[in-house]
Amino acid sequence: MKSSKITQLLQDLKKTDEVARQRATAQLWQLWFAQKGEVGRELLKRSQFFLEIGNAQKAEEILTETIKNYPDFAEAWNRRAVLYFSQEKYQQSKQDCQKVIQLVPYHFGALHGLGLCLLALGNYRDAIAAFRRALEVQPHALINQKLILECTALL
């Protein structure tokens, strides 16, 4: 999932112009959600619906089935990582984040999520490394800078 459009969006994330960064961020999320077309987008929506009504088990089933059918669908892995994180299943979330990063190395959401998992697991040095990688993609993301400081204080 690499193209001249994505290259431009990644460059826009580094600009000082906040509007350009926000637009690039939104467009990258749209591309990731749309990777498998309307079918993939609908599966992600269904899982989110079940999560919102409190049926995390059904949301997980949908995401796991989606991953089985579309193993290269990075956003399905990422959504399941978010679900696992919300359930405090940090090791499983970490593994899914790593899969997303394997598929889409510049996925700033998964890089940030990986850092959060590592922080929750008490692995502060690796969390710092993950947040730094996220900052390489999104250098103006203050949350990652803040989390690096928090992890450093915990060392």
In this structure, are residues 43 and 66 in contact, taking their beta carbons and an 8 Å threshold?
A: yes
Both structure tokens of 154: 């915990």
pTM, to two decimals: 0.94
The rounded mean pLDDT for the chain is 96
1 pLDDT exceeds 60? no
Q: Which domains does the chain have, with CATH numbers?
A: 4-154 (1.25.40.10)
Amino acid at 7: T
Neighbour count for residue 10 (Cβ, 10 Å): 16
pLDDT value for 130: 98
Asked if 43 and 51 touch (Cβ cutoff 8 Å), the reply is no
The CA distance from 68 to 59, in Å, is 14
pLDDT of 132-147, one tens digit each?
A: 999 999 999 999 999 9
